[in-house]
Amino acid sequence: MTREEIKTAILEFFRKEFEIENPGMEDNLREIHGFDSIDAIELLLEIEKLLGSELTQEEKKRAMDIQNLNQVCDYVESMAKVR
Protein backbone atom coordinates (compact mmCIF):
# COMPACT_ATOMS: atom_id res chain seq x y z
CA MET A 1 0.00 0.00 0.00
CA THR A 2 1.49 3.32 -1.08
CA ARG A 3 1.32 6.54 0.91
CA GLU A 4 -1.09 7.99 -1.66
CA GLU A 5 -3.40 4.95 -1.32
CA ILE A 6 -3.29 5.30 2.46
CA LYS A 7 -4.07 9.02 2.24
CA THR A 8 -6.98 8.42 -0.15
CA ALA A 9 -8.45 5.69 2.08
CA ILE A 10 -8.11 7.80 5.24
CA LEU A 11 -9.64 10.90 3.63
CA GLU A 12 -12.56 8.82 2.32
CA PHE A 13 -13.08 7.36 5.80
CA PHE A 14 -13.14 10.85 7.33
CA ARG A 15 -15.67 12.00 4.72
CA LYS A 16 -17.99 9.03 5.27
CA GLU A 17 -17.73 8.47 9.01
CA PHE A 18 -17.09 11.95 10.39
CA GLU A 19 -18.55 14.09 7.60
CA ILE A 20 -15.32 16.07 7.42
CA GLU A 21 -14.78 17.33 3.89
CA ASN A 22 -11.26 18.25 2.77
CA PRO A 23 -9.53 18.36 6.16
CA GLY A 24 -6.07 19.88 6.19
CA MET A 25 -3.38 17.27 6.56
CA GLU A 26 -1.87 19.27 9.44
CA ASP A 27 -5.20 20.22 11.11
CA ASN A 28 -5.28 19.25 14.78
CA LEU A 29 -8.06 16.67 14.77
CA ARG A 30 -9.09 17.30 18.37
CA GLU A 31 -9.04 21.09 18.32
CA ILE A 32 -10.35 21.80 14.82
CA HIS A 33 -12.62 18.83 14.17
CA GLY A 34 -13.71 17.84 17.70
CA PHE A 35 -12.12 14.38 17.37
CA ASP A 36 -12.63 12.44 20.63
CA SER A 37 -11.74 9.06 22.11
CA ILE A 38 -14.70 7.30 20.48
CA ASP A 39 -13.61 8.71 17.12
CA ALA A 40 -10.10 7.43 17.81
CA ILE A 41 -11.44 3.92 18.41
CA GLU A 42 -13.37 4.05 15.13
CA LEU A 43 -10.21 5.21 13.35
CA LEU A 44 -8.18 2.36 14.86
CA LEU A 45 -10.78 -0.13 13.62
CA GLU A 46 -10.52 1.38 10.15
CA ILE A 47 -6.73 1.16 10.28
CA GLU A 48 -7.02 -2.53 11.19
CA LYS A 49 -9.27 -3.04 8.15
CA LEU A 50 -6.75 -1.27 5.92
CA LEU A 51 -3.92 -3.41 7.27
CA GLY A 52 -5.93 -6.62 7.23
CA SER A 53 -4.86 -7.48 10.78
CA GLU A 54 -5.51 -6.54 14.37
CA LEU A 55 -3.22 -4.07 16.11
CA THR A 56 -1.53 -5.06 19.36
CA GLN A 57 -2.19 -3.11 22.55
CA GLU A 58 1.24 -1.51 22.24
CA GLU A 59 0.53 -0.44 18.65
CA LYS A 60 -2.80 1.03 19.74
CA LYS A 61 -1.08 2.98 22.53
CA ARG A 62 1.35 4.45 19.99
CA ALA A 63 -1.64 5.68 17.97
CA MET A 64 -2.95 7.73 20.89
CA ASP A 65 -0.38 10.46 20.19
CA ILE A 66 -1.71 11.07 16.68
CA GLN A 67 -2.94 14.62 16.22
CA ASN A 68 -3.33 15.13 12.46
CA LEU A 69 -3.89 13.27 9.19
CA ASN A 70 -0.22 13.30 8.22
CA GLN A 71 0.50 11.43 11.44
CA VAL A 72 -2.33 8.99 10.67
CA CYS A 73 -0.73 8.28 7.28
CA ASP A 74 2.73 7.93 8.88
CA TYR A 75 1.29 5.51 11.42
CA VAL A 76 -0.50 3.34 8.84
CA GLU A 77 2.57 3.34 6.61
CA SER A 78 4.80 2.20 9.48
CA MET A 79 2.34 -0.49 10.55
CA ALA A 80 2.05 -1.78 6.97
CA LYS A 81 5.82 -2.29 6.87
CA VAL A 82 5.79 -4.64 9.87
CA ARG A 83 2.94 -6.78 8.57
The 10s digit of each residue's pLDDT in 35-66 is 999 999 999 999 999 999 999 999 999 999 99
User: pTM to 2 decimals?
Assistant: 0.92
At residue 82 the predicted structure's pLDDT band, cuts being 50, 70 and 90, is confident
Contacts of 47 (CB under 8 A, 6+ apart): 55, 63, 72, 75, 76, 79
Three-state SS across 19-72? CCCCCCCCCCHHHHHCCCHHHHHHHHHHHHHHHCCCCCHHHHHHHCCCCCHHHH
Backbone angles phi, psi at 57, to 5 degrees: -60, -40
Is it the case that residue 77 has pLDDT exceeding 90? yes
> Confidence band (pLDDT; 50, 70, 90) for 18?
very high
* Mean of pLDDT over the chain: 95
Contact criterion met (CB below 8 Å) for 62 and 18: no
Residue 52: domain span: 3-81
Give me the number of domains the chain comprises.
Answer: 1
- Domain holding 31: CATH number? 1.10.1200.10
